[in-house]
Amino acid sequence: MNRKIRRQKTEDRRQASCVLNLAACFLILIFSLSLTLTLTLTSLVWAGGGGSYDKGNEMVLIPEGVFLMGSKEDEGRIGVDVGVDEFPQREVNLKAFYIDKYEVTVGAYRKFAKGPGEEERKFAKDDNPLNPPLLRGTKGVVSPSILLIGGLTGERARMKKMRIPISDDDFPMSDVSYIEAEAYCKSMGKRLPTEEEWEKAARGTDGRIWPWGNKFEAGMANTLESKENGTIQSGSFPTDVSPYNVYDMAGNLMEWTSSWYEPYPGSKIERPQFGKGYKVMKGGTWSAPSIPFSRAAYRHPVRPTENNHSHRYGFRCAKDAG
């Protein structure tokens, strides 16, 4: 009799356990479906910070005409506030062109990194003699770097993956070499801006020192003074906007241009960096003081080698108008 009772109790527990398991599975299923739906809807409408990362495709037309390039000697202490390579100031006439309204974002770069074809992910032809042959692929094409597809191995690959977090799609893409920036722009049917184009887009035609005018105050751009300690969402500083409505040209990240670092016409200074060894980077950065780095005329020479990348380096693209 006791054996029969124990057997019945055991059977009752099994049935209860089965019911509980079914209920738990049902709840897990409902939760999973709800979470999936939420994430799907969020991905369709999410626009963190300054907006969707797809806004990196938005471009601004810079009209044809003359602008003032370089600096005047009364703008600050020469060699401290104002670079000696910014003289003499001169008029430069440019054809109309388009330039990205915002710096290229992590999300936009991620799409490029996950492109469908291997050829689309390869870098442009490497004509820089400073790059060793081992960095070059077949037919003068440099093999892709990590770009989220594992092109590199070891420490840099690990660090690159860490620097492209999913949650930061609307942040500007940093830690990009010249070759990577050039490859991205070409994949979009664009190119890197020249130094002249970048500077005109940043300051307009009247020779102003910063995109907004001739006075800098902390909080006007993402420079060291803002104490952000890193990049922020593109377009987050409403004051850091040029006369052409181009954002973040005084702060956030320094940006690659396609121009070699050369002396200005009429300049008498000599530097070992002048020539075909360094590209000009423009714009301020979150990790450097506003003076001199955020000034529109400031010139920062950087070697365009595959391994020369930094958390301070970003970019935006340009293209001809017509």
Confidence of residue 112 (pLDDT cuts 50, 70, 90): confident
Do 176 and 160 form a contact (C-beta atoms < 8 A)? no
CB 244 within 8 A of CB 236: no
When pLDDT is cut at 50, 70 and 90, the band that residue 98 belongs to is very high
- What mean pLDDT comes out for the span 60-73? 97
Q: What is the CATH number of the domain that holds 82?
A: 3.90.1580.10
| Ramachandran class of 234: left when φ > 0, alpha when ψ lies in -120 to 50, beta otherwise | beta
Cα–Cα distance between 168 and 307 in angstroms, integer?
A: 23
The reply to whether 169 and 316 lie within a common domain is yes
Alpha helix locations (H) across the chain?
2-45, 106-113, 118-121, 155-162, 178-187, 195-203, 290-293
Model pTM score: 0.72
Domain count for the chain, please give it: 2
Q: How confident is the model at residue 307 (pLDDT cuts 50, 70, 90)?
A: confident
Tens digits of residue pLDDT in 192-231: 999 999 999 999 999 999 999 999 999 999 999 999 999 9
Cα–chain-centroid distance for residue 178?
Answer: 12
- Indicate if 176 and 283 belong to the same structural domain: yes
Structure tokens belonging to residue 232: 């922020």
- Contact (Cβ atoms closer than 8 angstroms) between residue 269 and residue 263: yes
Is the pLDDT score of 72 beyond 80? yes
Radius of gyration of the chain (CA): 26
Same domain, residue pair 24 and 58: no
**How high is the pLDDT of residue 322?**
78
Nearest to 85 by CA among 281, 276, 269, 273: 269
- Quick check: 42 pLDDT over 50? no
pLDDT at 180: 92
Report pLDDT digits (tens) over 130-149.
443 333 332 332 323 333 33
Residue 31 pLDDT exceeds 80: no
pLDDT in tens, 242-300: 999 999 999 999 999 999 999 999 999 999 999 999 999 999 999 999 999 999 999 99
Residue entry with tokens 């751009």: 221
Query: Are 91 and 235 in a shared domain?
Result: yes
What is the reported pLDDT for 115? Answer: 60
Instruction: Output the average pLDDT for the chain.
Output: 76
Q: Are residues 290 and 154 in the same domain?
A: yes
Tell me the pLDDT tens digit for each residue of 142-193: 323 333 333 333 334 434 443 444 437 889 999 899 999 999 999 999 999 9
Angle (CA) 94 91 84, round 5°: 115
Asked if residue 160 lies in contact with residue 309, where contact means CB atoms within 8 angstroms, the answer is: no
The torsion of the CA quartet 239, 242, 244, 249, rounded to 10 degrees, works out to -110
Q: Are residues 27 and 148 in the same domain?
A: no
Whether 225 and 312 share a structural domain: yes
Asked if 143 and 21 sit in the same domain, the reply is no
Task: Report the distance separating Cα 259 and Cα 193, nearest Å.
Answer: 8
Residue 189 and residue 280 in one domain: yes
Clarify whether residues 155 and 220 are in a common domain: yes
Model confidence at 116, in pLDDT bands (50, 70, 90)?
low
Query: In this structure, are strands 254-260 and 313-314 parallel, antiparallel, or unpaired?
Result: parallel
Confidence at residue 140, expressed as pLDDT on a 0 to 100 scale: 30
Phi and psi torsions of 282, nearest 5°: -130, 155
pLDDT of residue 169: 83
Q: Say what percent of the chain tops pLDDT 90.
A: 58
Q: pLDDT at position 55, please?
A: 60
pLDDT of 37 higher than 80: no
Among candidate residues 50, 43, 44, 86, the one with its CA nearest the CA of residue 68: 86
Q: Domain check: are 17 and 94 in the same one?
A: no
Q: What angle do CA 222, 226, 227 make, to 5 degrees?
A: 110
Domain containing 193 equals 53-320
Tokens, residue 315? 């970019």
